[in-house]
Amino acid sequence: MTLQIIEREGKRVLMTSQIAEAFGADTKTVNRNFQRNQERFVQGLHFYALTGEALKHFKGERQNDATLKFASNLYLWTEEGALILAKSLNNDKAWQAYNLLVNQYFQMTKQLAQAPSANELSYDPERFMALEQRVKEIELQLQLVTLHTGEQKRLQKAISERVYELCDVKARRPAYFSELYRAIKKRYHVDSYRDVPQCQLQDTLLFVQNWGGIQT
Protein backbone atom coordinates (compact mmCIF):
# COMPACT_ATOMS: atom_id res chain seq x y z
CA MET A 1 0.00 0.00 0.00
CA THR A 2 1.24 3.50 -0.90
CA LEU A 3 0.54 6.07 1.82
CA GLN A 4 -0.07 9.70 0.91
CA ILE A 5 2.75 11.81 2.30
CA ILE A 6 1.59 14.51 4.72
CA GLU A 7 3.91 16.91 6.49
CA ARG A 8 3.43 18.89 9.68
CA GLU A 9 6.09 21.21 11.11
CA GLY A 10 8.72 19.56 8.94
CA LYS A 11 7.82 16.01 10.00
CA ARG A 12 6.12 13.29 8.00
CA VAL A 13 2.83 12.34 9.63
CA LEU A 14 -0.04 9.91 9.13
CA MET A 15 -3.76 10.17 9.82
CA THR A 16 -5.35 7.62 12.15
CA SER A 17 -7.15 6.01 9.21
CA GLN A 18 -3.82 5.53 7.42
CA ILE A 19 -2.27 3.84 10.46
CA ALA A 20 -5.27 1.54 10.78
CA GLU A 21 -5.03 0.56 7.11
CA ALA A 22 -1.25 0.10 7.22
CA PHE A 23 -1.37 -2.25 10.21
CA GLY A 24 -4.49 -4.21 9.34
CA ALA A 25 -6.76 -2.73 12.02
CA ASP A 26 -9.81 -0.47 12.14
CA THR A 27 -9.88 3.20 13.13
CA LYS A 28 -12.03 2.57 16.21
CA THR A 29 -9.47 0.14 17.64
CA VAL A 30 -6.60 2.58 17.06
CA ASN A 31 -8.57 5.42 18.70
CA ARG A 32 -9.54 3.23 21.65
CA ASN A 33 -5.94 2.19 22.28
CA PHE A 34 -4.86 5.83 22.15
CA GLN A 35 -7.55 6.88 24.63
CA ARG A 36 -6.48 4.10 27.01
CA ASN A 37 -2.87 5.27 26.96
CA GLN A 38 -3.26 8.95 26.16
CA GLU A 39 -1.02 10.10 29.00
CA ARG A 40 1.88 8.20 27.44
CA PHE A 41 1.86 10.30 24.27
CA VAL A 42 3.43 13.74 23.97
CA GLN A 43 1.84 16.28 21.65
CA GLY A 44 4.37 17.62 19.17
CA LEU A 45 6.55 14.52 19.52
CA HIS A 46 4.07 11.70 18.94
CA PHE A 47 1.07 13.50 17.44
CA TYR A 48 -0.54 16.79 16.45
CA ALA A 49 -4.18 17.51 17.33
CA LEU A 50 -6.05 19.56 14.75
CA THR A 51 -9.17 21.52 15.67
CA GLY A 52 -10.84 24.77 14.61
CA GLU A 53 -9.17 26.68 11.80
CA ALA A 54 -6.24 24.25 11.55
CA LEU A 55 -8.64 21.37 10.94
CA LYS A 56 -10.71 23.45 8.51
CA HIS A 57 -7.58 24.25 6.51
CA PHE A 58 -6.50 20.59 6.52
CA LYS A 59 -9.91 19.50 5.24
CA GLY A 60 -9.79 22.17 2.56
CA GLU A 61 -6.62 20.64 1.16
CA ARG A 62 -8.28 17.20 1.03
CA GLN A 63 -11.80 17.85 -0.17
CA ASN A 64 -12.00 14.44 -1.83
CA ASP A 65 -11.46 12.58 1.45
CA ALA A 66 -14.96 11.65 2.62
CA THR A 67 -13.65 10.34 5.96
CA LEU A 68 -12.84 13.90 7.04
CA LYS A 69 -16.26 15.39 6.31
CA PHE A 70 -17.76 15.14 9.80
CA ALA A 71 -14.54 15.10 11.84
CA SER A 72 -14.59 17.68 14.66
CA ASN A 73 -10.97 16.93 15.59
CA LEU A 74 -8.14 15.04 13.94
CA TYR A 75 -4.88 13.49 15.06
CA LEU A 76 -1.80 13.43 12.85
CA TRP A 77 0.79 10.89 13.98
CA THR A 78 4.55 11.20 13.71
CA GLU A 79 6.77 8.17 13.04
CA GLU A 80 7.33 7.82 16.78
CA GLY A 81 3.63 7.98 17.64
CA ALA A 82 2.65 5.63 14.83
CA LEU A 83 5.08 2.95 16.02
CA ILE A 84 3.83 3.14 19.60
CA LEU A 85 0.23 2.90 18.37
CA ALA A 86 1.18 -0.03 16.18
CA LYS A 87 2.66 -1.91 19.14
CA SER A 88 -0.63 -1.55 21.05
CA LEU A 89 -2.48 -3.33 18.21
CA ASN A 90 -0.55 -6.54 18.96
CA ASN A 91 -0.88 -8.13 15.51
CA ASP A 92 1.74 -9.46 13.09
CA LYS A 93 2.17 -6.23 11.15
CA ALA A 94 2.43 -4.20 14.34
CA TRP A 95 5.08 -6.54 15.74
CA GLN A 96 7.10 -6.25 12.54
CA ALA A 97 7.09 -2.47 12.91
CA TYR A 98 8.06 -2.70 16.58
CA ASN A 99 10.91 -5.08 15.80
CA LEU A 100 12.21 -2.61 13.21
CA LEU A 101 12.20 0.07 15.90
CA VAL A 102 14.15 -2.12 18.33
CA ASN A 103 16.66 -3.06 15.62
CA GLN A 104 17.07 0.60 14.70
CA TYR A 105 17.76 1.45 18.33
CA PHE A 106 20.51 -1.15 18.71
CA GLN A 107 22.07 -0.22 15.38
CA MET A 108 22.21 3.42 16.45
CA THR A 109 23.67 2.69 19.87
CA LYS A 110 26.33 0.58 18.15
CA GLN A 111 27.15 3.48 15.82
CA LEU A 112 27.46 5.80 18.81
CA ALA A 113 29.82 3.40 20.55
CA GLN A 114 31.98 3.17 17.44
CA ALA A 115 31.92 6.90 16.67
CA PRO A 116 35.37 8.50 16.27
CA SER A 117 36.68 10.85 18.91
CA ALA A 118 36.70 14.62 18.51
CA ASN A 119 40.43 14.49 17.74
CA GLU A 120 39.93 12.44 14.60
CA LEU A 121 39.51 14.24 11.27
CA SER A 122 36.42 12.23 10.32
CA TYR A 123 34.50 13.36 13.39
CA ASP A 124 31.27 15.19 12.46
CA PRO A 125 29.80 16.78 15.63
CA GLU A 126 26.46 17.65 14.01
CA ARG A 127 25.92 14.11 12.78
CA PHE A 128 26.98 12.69 16.14
CA MET A 129 24.56 14.95 18.05
CA ALA A 130 21.72 14.13 15.65
CA LEU A 131 22.37 10.41 16.10
CA GLU A 132 22.51 10.78 19.88
CA GLN A 133 19.21 12.69 19.89
CA ARG A 134 17.57 10.01 17.76
CA VAL A 135 18.70 7.31 20.18
CA LYS A 136 17.18 9.27 23.07
CA GLU A 137 13.90 9.59 21.18
CA ILE A 138 13.78 5.85 20.49
CA GLU A 139 14.62 5.10 24.13
CA LEU A 140 11.60 7.18 25.12
CA GLN A 141 9.40 5.29 22.67
CA LEU A 142 10.53 1.93 24.04
CA GLN A 143 9.86 3.09 27.60
CA LEU A 144 6.27 3.98 26.67
CA VAL A 145 5.43 0.54 25.25
CA THR A 146 3.14 -1.42 27.56
CA LEU A 147 2.77 -5.17 28.08
CA HIS A 148 1.48 -7.24 25.17
CA THR A 149 -1.07 -10.01 25.69
CA GLY A 150 1.47 -12.75 26.41
CA GLU A 151 3.30 -10.61 28.98
CA GLN A 152 0.01 -9.68 30.65
CA LYS A 153 -0.78 -13.40 31.04
CA ARG A 154 2.69 -14.02 32.43
CA LEU A 155 2.17 -11.32 35.05
CA GLN A 156 -1.30 -12.65 35.89
CA LYS A 157 0.15 -16.11 36.42
CA ALA A 158 2.86 -14.74 38.73
CA ILE A 159 0.22 -12.86 40.73
CA SER A 160 -1.94 -15.98 41.09
CA GLU A 161 1.02 -18.09 42.19
CA ARG A 162 2.00 -15.53 44.82
CA VAL A 163 -1.54 -15.21 46.20
CA TYR A 164 -1.96 -18.98 46.44
CA GLU A 165 1.45 -19.21 48.09
CA LEU A 166 0.53 -16.64 50.74
CA CYS A 167 -3.10 -17.56 51.38
CA ASP A 168 -4.51 -21.07 51.71
CA VAL A 169 -7.98 -19.87 52.74
CA LYS A 170 -10.09 -19.70 49.58
CA ALA A 171 -12.52 -17.12 50.94
CA ARG A 172 -9.69 -14.66 51.68
CA ARG A 173 -7.93 -14.87 48.31
CA PRO A 174 -10.05 -12.20 46.53
CA ALA A 175 -8.83 -9.66 49.07
CA TYR A 176 -5.22 -10.71 48.41
CA PHE A 177 -5.69 -10.40 44.66
CA SER A 178 -7.26 -6.98 45.04
CA GLU A 179 -4.48 -5.75 47.33
CA LEU A 180 -1.68 -7.03 45.11
CA TYR A 181 -3.16 -5.47 41.97
CA ARG A 182 -3.57 -2.23 43.91
CA ALA A 183 0.06 -2.39 45.02
CA ILE A 184 1.23 -2.85 41.41
CA LYS A 185 -0.81 0.12 40.19
CA LYS A 186 0.52 2.30 42.98
CA ARG A 187 4.17 1.29 42.51
CA TYR A 188 4.20 1.78 38.72
CA HIS A 189 1.73 4.70 38.60
CA VAL A 190 -0.66 2.97 36.20
CA ASP A 191 -4.44 2.56 36.03
CA SER A 192 -4.22 -1.15 35.27
CA TYR A 193 -1.59 -3.88 35.45
CA ARG A 194 -1.91 -4.01 31.64
CA ASP A 195 -0.36 -0.54 31.47
CA VAL A 196 2.89 -1.51 33.18
CA PRO A 197 5.74 -0.48 30.83
CA GLN A 198 7.25 -3.43 29.00
CA CYS A 199 10.72 -2.37 30.09
CA GLN A 200 9.64 -2.85 33.74
CA LEU A 201 8.16 -6.34 33.38
CA GLN A 202 11.09 -8.09 35.09
CA ASP A 203 11.01 -5.59 37.95
CA THR A 204 7.25 -6.13 38.31
CA LEU A 205 7.64 -9.91 38.40
CA LEU A 206 10.30 -9.54 41.11
CA PHE A 207 8.01 -7.18 43.04
CA VAL A 208 5.18 -9.74 42.89
CA GLN A 209 7.51 -12.54 43.96
CA ASN A 210 8.61 -10.56 47.03
CA TRP A 211 5.21 -9.10 47.93
CA GLY A 212 4.51 -9.74 51.57
CA GLY A 213 0.73 -10.01 51.48
CA ILE A 214 -1.94 -8.07 53.34
CA GLN A 215 -0.49 -6.30 56.34
CA THR A 216 -2.56 -6.77 59.50
Per-residue pLDDT at 93? 61
pLDDT exceeds cutoff 70 at 98: no
Per-residue pLDDT at 120? 45
Strand spans (E) along 46-126: 47-50, 74-77
Q: Which of 16, 33, 25 is nearest to 75 (CA)?
A: 16
Per-residue pLDDT at 58? 84
Per-residue pLDDT at 157? 95
Per-residue pLDDT at 147? 81
Strand order in the sheet with 6-8: 6-8, 11-15, 74-77, 47-50
Amino acid at 213: G
Global pTM reads: 0.46
CA distances from 189 to 63, 112, 145, 186, 196 (A): 43, 32, 14, 5, 8
Most confident of 18-27, 82-91, 114-123, 132-141: 18-27
Q: Which of 75, 94, 74 is nearest to 85 (CA)?
A: 94
pLDDT exceeds cutoff 60 at 105: no
- The string of pLDDT tens digits covering residues 15-61 is 888 878 777 778 888 888 888 778 778 888 888 988 888 888 888 87
CA distance 73 to 35: 14
What is the secondary structure of 124-161 as a DSSP string? -HHHHHHHHHHHHHHHHHHHH-B--HHHHHHHHHHHHH
208 vs 131, higher pLDDT? 208
pLDDT exceeds cutoff 60 at 112: no
- The string of pLDDT tens digits covering residues 139-148 is 555 556 678 7
- The string of pLDDT tens digits covering residues 150-201 is 888 999 999 999 999 999 999 999 999 999 999 999 998 888 898 888 878 8
CA distance 208 to 165: 11
Per-residue pLDDT at 173? 94
Per-residue pLDDT at 96? 62
CA distance 183 to 204: 11
How does DSSP classify residue 195? G
